[in-house]
Amino acid sequence: MSDLLHFEDYAAGQVIDLGTYAVTAAEIREFASEFDPLPFHLDEAAGRASLLGGLAASGWHVCSMLMRMIADSWLNKSASMGSNGVSEVKWLKPVFAGETLSGRVTIVSKRVSSKRPEMGIFECLFELFNQEGVKKTEMTAVVFMRVKAA
Amino acid sequence: MSDLLHFEDYAAGQVIDLGTYAVTAAEIREFASEFDPLPFHLDEAAGRASLLGGLAASGWHVCSMLMRMIADSWLNKSASMGSNGVSEVKWLKPVFAGETLSGRVTIVSKRVSSKRPEMGIFECLFELFNQEGVKKTEMTAVVFMRVKAA
């Protein structure tokens, strides 16, 4: 545990790079088959005929890709304690096969839980962009992190 | 398309049953390995030592299970046009292996889009419970549905 970053190691206003994620048609179809089997996430022609305009990832798949980026680039290097929810997800634009996403998280605010002094609470803004810098998804969520001093 | 239900076929206040979903340890670990590889979603002992209190599904996995229930029980019988986001997800309690989830959606309000007269907008409350009726997750989100008359 000693090499993990804790609540005290992060500052309000800090921005953390979340790396990249390459989106493939195979993964879009695989996720959709299991969890979101609507035609526009499964079939290229149905995607083109829909509001999405092409074979686009399920919004839940996009959130899951973002979660993987968050885990790899941030939380698995930290004493993360999870989260109890998300206050907003905006799927601003569809995410298509062949795009490469990049992301960042901004720690909007930080405080120690009044009920659990060993637990810090970060309010975070997560943003996902494609390779051309077009913002695809924006999410606001809480992340819990252990307080080293506690 | 003619046998699909449309915007006009649903009423504000209507409650739709979303069926059930059996949660397994194998699926919890598989989803977490791919999208949320944090110790408390991968390992029983780490889960017990965490705030979650046991091997618990990723919150994104819970949302994805809920999406599957929504697709099977509702949207694939309807002229769904997708969604542009979620206004809140509350992971009220952890979802454990061996639980069977049941769900329901309440159509809180309905209106036709002012920009797209062919598109109806439902504001929905989604609720997930375990087999003992304990509420596990609550979500508020918009669902778009085609207007038959348009």
All residues of chain B having their beta carbon less than 8 Å from the beta carbon of residue A72 are 37
Q: What is the pLDDT of residue B3?
A: 87
* CB proximity B21 to A under 8 Å: no
Residue B87 distance to chain A (closest CA, Å): 5
* CB proximity B64 to A under 8 Å: yes
CB contact under 8 A, B58 and A65: no
Q: What is the pLDDT of residue B28?
A: 97
* Residue among B4, B64, B142, B145 with most chain A CBs within 10 A, to mutate: B64
pLDDT in tens, B117-131: 999 999 999 999 999
- Taking the C-alpha atoms of residue B118 and residue B88, their distance in angstroms, rounded to an integer, is 26
The residue written with tokens 């194998």 in the block is: B26
Residue B16 distance to chain A (closest CA, Å): 18
pLDDT in tens, A118-136: 999 999 999 999 999 999 9
Q: What is the pLDDT of residue B2?
A: 60
Residue of A nearest to B39 (CA): A76
From residue A111, how far is each of A105, A145, B74, B89 by CA, in Å? 17, 10, 41, 21
What crossing angle do the helices spanning A59-73 and B25-35 adopt, rounded to 10°? 70
Q: Is the pLDDT of residue B30 over 90?
A: yes
- Taking the C-alpha atoms of residue A103 and residue A118, their distance in angstroms, rounded to an integer, is 29
Phi then psi dihedrals of residue B76, to 5 deg: -75, 0
Size of interface A-B (CB pairs under 8 A): 101
Residue B78: alpha-carbon gap to chain centroid: 16
* DSSP assignments along A118-132, one per residue: TEEEEEEEEEEE-TT
Q: Is the pLDDT of residue B1 over 70?
A: no
From residue B15, how far is each of A136, A144, B106 by CA, in Å? 32, 34, 4
ipTM of the predicted assembly exceeds 0.90:
yes
**Dihedral in degrees, nearest 10, Cα atoms A49, A98, A57, A84:** -160
* CB proximity B83 to A under 8 Å: yes
Choose among B38, B67, B81: nearest Cβ to A51: B81
- Taking the C-alpha atoms of residue B31 and residue B28, their distance in angstroms, rounded to an integer, is 5
**Is the CA virtual torsion B131, B137, B142, B144 positive or negative?**
negative
CB contact under 8 A, A34 and B71: no
Q: What is the pLDDT of residue B81?
A: 93
CB contact under 8 A, A36 and B71: yes
pLDDT in tens, A84-117: 999 999 999 999 999 999 999 999 999 999 999 9
- Taking the C-alpha atoms of residue B68 and residue B129, their distance in angstroms, rounded to an integer, is 15
Residue of B nearest to A94 (CA): B84
3-state secondary structure of A25: helix
Is there a contact between B107 and B11 (Cβ–Cβ < 8 Å)? yes
Question: For residue A26, what is the enclosing H or E element?
Answer: helix A25-35
Q: What is the pLDDT of residue B150?
A: 77
The structural domains of chain A, ordered by start, are 7-23+57-146 (3.10.129.10)
Q: What is the pLDDT of residue A3?
A: 87
* CB proximity B45 to A under 8 Å: no
